[in-house]
Amino acid sequence: MDWERDGYLTIPDAVSAEDRRRLMDRAAEIVREAADDPVSVFSTHEQSRTSDEWFLSSGGEVRCFFEEEAFDADGRLVVPIERSINKIGHAQHDVDDVYSEVSRRPVMAEAAAAAGMRDPLLLQSMHIFKQPRIGGEVTCHQDATFLYTDPMTVVGLWLALEDATLDNGCLWVEPGGHRGPLRTRFHRAGASDADGTAFTTLDDTPLPEPGRAPLVPVEVPAGTLVLLHGLLPHWSGPNRSGRSREAYSVHLIERDADYPADNWLQRPADLPLRGF
């Protein structure tokens, strides 16, 4: 595997079992604490993302987002609350001590350097559950669509907290696909969170179809860190197995890149981005 050639890298045994346990325990605690708060469904399907103020105002917060399939047609939860959450995001790497500590382990900075980053800032974090049976598909995308900078600098650090397999919805990537163009940009449609969001097409080259060549599965044991180039097309399928596929991801950008004011993710002025 070669970063320049393939646009992704895997680093086995990057994070200890103890750190993984701490992240999963902390996530469970956050879900319990949030159980009584207002919540919104998050999925990467365009439809449910638009006008989602809960999502748009989460850039400096630690928030829970439901799995779509956690509800029946009448909007009632059909699984226990602790099995209903799709992800926690998007600033726990800065506002939560446990996440901040693990996000800034030396191996994370070393990974950023291996991806050619010079002065990385930690922009966004997500604890992804991929719940048993109902874990949703993440449609094929490029991270630079959602975390756009000029020039393109975003790199994803994706840590397997549990084994990721074909059965429970592992990542799939298009090796070398990062040398293709950025297809779309997701951005705010107006100045207020209530104005919602829009996609702008930049290049109409299609992204790969889900679950087959040129995408290849990245099955990795727990503790593996996967580095993803911001232009690399990737996808993960639904989890129909009885096991969760928890992962923790941190997205980095270069300090000196331009970060547009209409990117969906905006941080409050009193919570500036930080590095390692």
Residues that bind Fe ion (CB under 5 A): 143
- Helix/strand/coil for 17: helix
143 vs 193, which CB is nearer to Fe ion? 143
Q: Is the separation of the CB atoms in 274 and 109 below 8 Å? A: no
Taking the complex as a whole, the smallest distance from the CB of residue 191 to Fe ion amounts, in Å, to 27
Kindly tell me which of 83 and 87 has the beta carbon lying closer to Fe ion: 87
C-alpha dihedral (232, 237, 243, 246), degrees to nearest 10: 30
Q: How far is the CB of 187 from Fe ion (least distance, A)?
A: 17
Each as own residue / partner, the long-range contacts of residues 44-49 (CB below 8 Å, 24 or more positions apart, any chain) are: 44/138, 44/139, 44/141, 45/139, 46/199, 49/186, 49/197
Q: Which amino acid is at 256?
A: D
Closest distance between Fe ion and the C-beta of residue 62, in Å?
19
**CB count in 10 Å sphere of residue 128:** 25
Q: Nearest distance from residue 227's CB to Fe ion, in Å?
A: 12
* Residue with Cβ nearer Fe ion (41 or 128): 128
DSSP state of 209: P
Contacts of 223 by beta carbon, 8 Å cutoff, 6+ apart = 12, 13, 14, 15, 16, 17, 20, 159, 160
- The smaller minimum CB distance to Fe ion, of residues 143 and 174, is found at 143
Residue 5 CB, nearest distance to Fe ion (Å)? Answer: 20
Q: Cβ of residue 242: shortest distance to Fe ion, in angstroms?
A: 25
Considering beta carbons, is residue 94 or 143 the nearer one to Fe ion?
143
H or E segment and range at residue 260: none
What's the one-letter identity of residue 194? A
Give the residue nearest to Fe ion (CB).
Answer: 143
Q: Which is nearer to Fe ion, 19 or 143 (CB)?
A: 143
